Each structure stands twice: as C-alpha cells, then as structure tokens.
Structure 1
Amino acid sequence: MVVSCTSSPQGEKATSANAALDNIFARKSVREYLDKGVEKEKIDLMLRAGMAAPSARDLRPWEFIVINDRATLDSMAAALPYAKMLTQVRYAMVVCGDSARSSLWYLDCSAAAQNILLAAESLGLGAVWTAAYPYEDRMQVVRKFTVLPDSVLPLCVIPFGYPATSQQPKQKFDENKVHYNKY
C-alpha cells in the first residue's frame, strides 16, 4: 500500500522529500467522523505501527483492544468526559499496558499510541487520543467495558475513522521552548 501525506507544516500540499516528517506535521486530532467502516488492513497497519514503538528494555508491555461494538462505544462515550466522539465512530482502539511486565508501561504505551495516531494520519484516517490514565474514574470506565486483568491498565482510548471534515494541523512549534546547552 502506498501512502502519501497531503499537507505540510504550513498546511500546503506536501512537497518535502521526507514523507515521515510530512506525516508528523500533518497529524491532527480529529473529532468528527463519517459513518463509514475502516478496512481491516488499515486497522492491522495501525496495530503494527503501535507495536513498532520503542520500549524500555524491549519489554513491550502493551496490549491493544479494538472495540467495534456499537453499544460499548456509546456507553463509553456517555461515561468518558472527553470521548463523546465515540458515538460517531465504528471503531476505537484502547492502548493498555501491563504494569506487571514493566513499571514504565505508560511511557512505552505512549510511544505506541503516538505511532498509532501517525499511522492513522498516513492512511487517510482521523484519530484522537482521549486519556484514561492517570484518571482513576476514566480508567474504571474503560476497565468496565473491556474486562482487563488487574495488571493491565488502560492508557488511552483512540477513536478512529474517516474524517467528516477537512482540517489543518495546528502549528505548535515554539522557538521559545527550545534551549541549547551550547551552539
């Protein structure tokens, strides 16, 4: 599958010879979706991207749950304060970590979640990170609808699908937040 990025850091058509950077700069949080299914191949690529993330001591403590049950998505949307868009999607991915495997599970799983978001962008999908961890009430909601073992903790819920609107990525670069020890 050949994938191309459609916008650059300035919101124009990508002209860079660096597709990876173009994709990073094009990533945005999508909260409105079309009522359209996502191909299994794309879901599999997102999962593969998540599992390609770096992991402390290569422990790979992540676990992924793909939710496609309408009742579960709607129930989670009703209970999670920042995941109301779950009512619009046909799929969500829960990124979880096994705390028994690694005390740094949330770091490894954050890298995996970012890879999933970037993969979604590169595949023409929209996605958004909605936090579960470290909020105990949100984690309990996710646990209720996913029946996780005690040691597996939910990091985030990522609703994904085809975007309903076209939007430009936010320009987040801030030169004032860059400091050099010596240059």
Structure 2
Amino acid sequence: MLDLLINRRSIRKYKDQKVEKDKLDKILKGALTSPSGRSIRPWELIVVDNKETLEKLATSRGGASKPLANAPLAIVVTANPELTDVWIEDASIISVVIQLMAQSLGLGSCWIQSRERFTQDNESVSEYVKSILNIPENYTVESMIAIGYPDEEKDLHETDLLLNKVHYNKY
C-alpha cells in the first residue's frame, strides 16, 4: 500500500487508449466499499466516457479541468447534502478511493475539484456540471476524476521531506 501511495501522482496527460471495462468495474466496486459516516453513502457516481461530454466538462474550470479533454474516462462524484452533515468528507473519501483503485490497476488519475469552484463566466462549476449530466437539483458535485493510461511520468512523492508535518502528543 505504501508503494501505491508514494507512486500515485496527479496525471494530466493520457494515452489515446480506452480503459477496459473490467478495470472500470474494479474501480467502481472498490469505490463503492468506501466508508461513509453512519454508512449513509450520500454519494452517487456518474461514469463519463463520451468524448463530447468529456470535452464539455473540460471547459468547466479553465486549465484545471483540461485533463478531462484527453482522458478516455471520468467519474463524477456527487452527493446529497440533505442526507448528512458529513457529505463533503464522504464524497472526498470515495474520490480518493477511486484514485487509489485506478493507480493499483496501472492507470493515472487527476482530481478536478468542483464544489466551491467557478467557471470563467463565474457560474458554479457544480451547477454547470449538473446541467450537462442531468444531475438532480438536490445533489452537489464534489469532484470529477479524470482516468486513463498515463502519457507522462512524474517523480515519486518525497515522504521524508514531509516528516516535519508530523507531531507527537502535542503540536
């Protein structure tokens, strides 16, 4: 697991290669096991593999959402804030599990934050995405996870450099 975490990096460039259905199924099965507060599971996932739709989603946040344009696949994570006060945490957890599952299968991913972000026209990214994907009004879009075969290489995380972020017994 440590190797998986050290190797996982945000990938913004993908090969022109479709993600196999069995790999997508594994990502989804793993994601659906994600913990959530009181097991409410306020999230819903939307798998997007239509190129035109991915290109529309890629315009939502300017440069930050561009990885969606060349990704063969994205998973949009939505949640219903009416179901629980920890919906943000629950949606974030499932987003990370999606990324870790993708990494474990030799795929790259990039989290594109949607909640509390705005388009270039100052429209809520969540509302913009909801209109494209017909997401019910009572849901909020937390993230869009671009997924595909990496077409770039990145250095490993330098965990030793971050040890100053760890404190014992007091700050």
Counterpart of 2:39 in structure 1 is 58
Residue pair 2:60, 2:129 contacting (<8 A) in 1 also: no
Point out where structure 2 has 5 or more consecutive residues left out of the alignment.
119-123
Q: Distance in 2 between matches of 1:175 and 1:26?
A: 17
Counterpart of 1:77 in structure 2 is 58
Question: Which residue identity is paired with 1:178?
Answer: V
Question: Which residue identity is paired with 1:58?
Answer: S
Question: Which residue identity is paired with 1:142?
Answer: V
Q: Distance in 2 between matches of 1:48 and 1:101?
A: 22
CA offset at residue 22 of structure 1? 1.5
Q: Distance in 2 between matches of 1:24 and 1:55?
A: 21
Counterpart of 2:113 in structure 1 is 131
- What is the CA deviation profile of residues 102-125 of structure 1, one whole-angstrom value per residue up to 9, with x for unaligned ones? 121110111111111001101000
2:149 is the counterpart of 1:149: no
Given candidates 145, 148, 163, the residue that maps to 1:158 is 145
Question: In percent, how many aligned pairs have the same letter?
Answer: 34
TM-score (norm 1): 0.84
Counterpart of 1:33 in structure 2 is 14
Q: Judge which range, 135-144 or 56-65, deviates more.
A: 135-144
- What is the CA deviation profile of residues 71-109 of structure 1, one whole-angstrom value per residue up to 9, with x for unaligned ones? 111111123221112111121110111222212111011
Residue pair 2:67, 2:110 contacting (<8 A) in 1 also: no
- What is the CA deviation profile of residues 125-146 of structure 1, one whole-angstrom value per residue up to 9, with x for unaligned ones? 0101010012252112211211
Residue pair 1:96, 1:155 contacting (<8 A) in 2 also: yes
Residue pair 1:139, 1:153 contacting (<8 A) in 2 also: yes
Residue pair 1:49, 1:112 contacting (<8 A) in 2 also: no
| RMSD of Structure 2 on Structure 1 (CA) | 1.5
Point out where structure 1 has 5 or more consecutive residues left out of the alignment.
1-19
Counterpart of 2:121 in structure 1 is none
Question: 1:42-121 to 2 correspondence within 5 Å?
Answer: 42-81=23-62, 82-121=64-103
Q: Distance in 2 between matches of 1:40 and 1:84?
A: 24
TM-score (norm 2): 0.89
Residue pair 1:67, 1:92 contacting (<8 A) in 2 also: yes
Given candidates 154, 157, 166, the residue that maps to 1:167 is 154
Report SS of the residue matched to 1:180: coil
Q: Distance in 2 between matches of 1:135 and 1:78?
A: 13
CA offset at residue 171 of structure 1? 2.1
Q: Distance in 1 between matches of 2:69 and 2:117?
A: 21
- What is the CA deviation profile of residues 140-168 of structure 1, one whole-angstrom value per residue up to 9, with x for unaligned ones? 22112111111211100011100012222
2:127 is the counterpart of 1:140: yes
Detail structure 1 runs of 4+ shifted over 4 Å in the superposition: none
